[in-house]
Amino acid sequence: MANLGENSLMTGLLSPASQTNQKAEPKRKRIRRCRSAPLAEFVPGDLNGKNEATMLPRSESCLDKLHPSFKRVAIFLTFYLVIGTICFSFVMEQIKGEKINEVLDAVYFCIVTMTTVGYGDLVPNSVATKLLACAFVFSGMALVGLILSKGADYIVEKQEMLLIKALRMRQKLGAAEILKELETNKVRYKCLTTMAFLVVLILVGTVFLVTVEKLDIVDAFYCVCSTITTLGYGDKSFSTKAGRVFAIFWILTSTLCMAQFFCYIAEFNTESRQKALVKWVLTRRMTNVDLEAADLDDDGIVGAAEFVLYKLKEMGKINQEDILLVMEEFESLDVDQSGTLSPSDLTLAQSAQT
């Protein structure tokens, strides 16, 4: 549903009433004001932050909110790596394995630990370093979760347009058409973009391992697979100076990309199912039983808003508890008990409160 959300939001921001007019007015003028309620952007503070891992599709609409989060993630990551480098540089003699350069090894060890690749080419060899590694792997995992939920999504969204342009090059789509295409199939393009990234990263990694680390092609591919899945058997790893510099960037990017790809696949599945459900609900025949059940105020007829509520509930977008929660507020505002709210109700209700 994310694409629908953003679509309506964008149109809503440009001209609050135009959208309804396009669709409803040609038929009949009666229902012309589906105005935009102040959506999530209008909410102050952090309420509106979002977490990709648990994906509340509606709050996804706030693309511009992602920028500060992305910065914050970058700051956290830098902070983690600086602290990690300092800590592990100091205790490098207590870490055994193939060493090349104190600072480089410390950063490399941090990255291999935080992404849970854990080759084992460098391993802690004292009580202090072992406990330090435990602390760093847990904080690293939390950080990776944060990166996945905030940063990666932002980068993918930046890249999608390029992908669609490439895919549709021959059709010469205008900017507006590309945007529309993007909104309608948002999750699909996210999957495709991430997959394209992933393929590039796998190729780059394999080529690098073959040319710089002098592995044969199967070993290089095996090492790449073992790394991006964070398996990290460690029989093949980065053992040259150039290899470790490359590894620092490549491991971080490719493991995150792989994880993000899995997230998008899951999102895609959910969205497909959700879309099928919506379609089923909308094409289902209404019966008189439905009509009676939809009649919220029990006046024998079903108004437009009652009908919408009933169908949205059927789609699973809202539930009975949501409705009851708001109904309580409605009844406290409806001072004259007319079953409707008018400006005079508001005045009465709010003067009674104060």
Residues 291-320 that bind a copy of itself (CB under 8 A): 291-298, 300-320
Q: Which is nearer to a copy of itself, 43 or 167 (CB)?
A: 43
Q: Could you say which DSSP state residue 151 is in?
A: I
* Three-state SS at 284: coil
C-alpha closest to that of 122 among 91, 143, 83: 91
Least distance from a copy of itself to the Cβ atom of residue 145, Å: 6
CA–CA gap between residue 165 and residue 337 (Å, rounded)? 57
Specify the DSSP element, H or E, that contains 95.
Answer: strand 95-97
Orientation angle between helical segments 66-90 and 102-114, nearest 10 degrees: 130
Cβ 41 vs Cβ 49: under 8 Å: no
CA–CA gap between residue 231 and residue 116 (Å, rounded)? 8
Q: Phi/psi class of residue 275: alpha, beta or left (left: φ > 0; alpha: ψ in -120 to 50)? A: alpha
Q: Which is nearer to a copy of itself, 64 or 170 (CB)?
A: 64
Least distance from a copy of itself to the Cβ atom of residue 180, Å: 13
Q: How many residues bind a copy of itself (CB under 8 A)?
A: 142
Asked if 48 interacts with a copy of itself (CB under 8 A), we say yes
Q: Which is nearer to a copy of itself, 165 or 292 (CB)?
A: 292
Binding residues for a copy of itself restricted to 18-37, rule: CB under 8 A: 19-20, 23-24, 27-28, 30-37
Distance from the Cα of residue 57 to its chain's centroid:
9
Q: Which is nearer to a copy of itself, 204 or 311 (CB)?
A: 311
Binding-residue pattern over the window 126 to 165 for a copy of itself, x denoting contact by CB under 8 A: -x--xx-xx--xx--xx--x---x----------------
Binding residues for a copy of itself restricted to 198-237, rule: CB under 8 A: 218-219, 221-222, 225-226, 229-235
* Residue found under tokens 């309608």: 184
Binding-residue pattern over the window 267 to 296 for a copy of itself, x denoting contact by CB under 8 A: x-xxx-xx-xxx-x-x--xxxx-xxxxxxx
* Contact residue for a copy of itself among 55, 178, 210, 212 (CB under 8 A): 55
